[in-house]
A and B are shown apart, each in its own frame.
Chain A
Amino acid sequence: MPKPAEKSTVKKTPKAKTIGAQPENPAQLIVDGKVADNQWNLLPLTGEEEVSADNLVAGKIILPASVWLALREALQDRKQEIGVWLDSDETADLIGEYAGELPLIAAHFPAFTDGRGFTAARLLRERYGFTGEMRAVGNFIRDQLSYLTRCGFNAFAFQGEQPLSALTESLRDFSDSYQAAVDQPLPIHRRRALA
Chain B
Amino acid sequence: MYRYDEQDHKLIRERVAQFRGQTERYLAGELSEEEFLPLRLQNGLYVQRLAPMLRIAVPYGLMNSTQVRRLAHITRKYDKGYAHFTTRQNVQLNWPNLEDVPDILAELAEVEMHAVQTSGNCIRNTTTDQFAGVAADELVDPRPYCELIRQWSTFHPEFAFLPRKFKIAVCGTDEDRAAIRAHDIGVQIVKNDQGETGFQVFVGGGLGRTPILGVAIRDFLPETHLLSYLEAIVRVYNQLGRRDNKFKARIKILVKAMGPEEFARRVEAEWEQIKDGADELTVEAIQWAKRFFPEQPYKTFKAGHGEAVLRDQAGGDKAFARWLERNTFPHRVEGYQAVTLSTKPTGIPPGDVTDRQLEAIADLSDEFSFGEVRVTHEQNVVLADVEQEKLFALWQAARKHGFATPNIGTLTDMICCPGGDYCSLANAKSIPVAEAIQRKFDDLDYLYDLGDLDLNISGCMNACGHHHIGHIGILGVDKKGEEFYQVQLGGSANQDASLGKVLGPSFSRDEMPATIGKILDVFVENRQPEEFFIDTYKRIGLQPFKERVYAKAS
Contact = CB atoms under 8 A, between A and B. Distances in A.
A181 B157 contact: yes
A39 interface: no
Interface in B1-29: 5, 7, 10-11, 14-15, 17-18, 22
Nearest to A163: B30
A-side binding surface: helix, strand, loop or mixed?
loop
Contact of A174 (B14, B148, B277): B14
Contacts of B287: 193
B22, B156, B158: residue with the most chain A Cβ atoms closer than 10 Å: B158
Interface in B238-279: 238-239, 243, 273, 277-279
B11 A192 contact: no
Interface stretch (B107-115, B159-167, B397-405, B500-508): B159-167
A46 interface: no
A187 B18 CA distance: 22
Nearest to B277: A180
B-side binding surface: helix, strand, loop or mixed?
helix
Interface string A138-164: 000101101110110000000000000
Which of the four size classes fits the interface of chain A?
A: 35 or more
Contact of A188 (B7, B157, B282): B7
Interface in B123-150: 148
Contacts, number: 105
Contacts of A91: 239
Contacts of B35: 112, 141, 143
Nearest to B150: A178
Interface string B155-183: 11111111000000000000000000000
Given A185-B278, A189-B285, A190-B282, A112 B161 contact: yes
A115 B288 contact: no
B38 interface: yes
B424 interface: no
Contact of B158 (A181, A186, A187, A192): A181
Nearest to A181: B157
A119 interface: yes
A119 B274 CA distance: 14
B220 interface: no
A118 B161 contact: yes
A193 B282 contact: yes
A97 interface: no
A72 interface: no
Contact of B160 (A118, A122, A127): A118
Nearest to A169: B21
Contacts of A179: 152, 155-157, 279
Interface of A: 91, 112-116, 118-119, 122, 127, 141, 143-144, 146-148, 150-151, 173-181, 185-190, 192-193
20 contacts: A112-B38, A112-B161, A118-B158, A141-B35, A143-B35, A143-B39, A146-B157, A150-B157, A176-B11, A177-B157, A179-B152, A179-B157, A180-B278, A186-B278, A188-B151, A189-B148, A189-B151, A189-B285, A189-B289, A190-B278
Closest 5 A/B residue pairs (Cβ): A115-B161, A193-B284, A150-B157, A147-B157, A189-B285
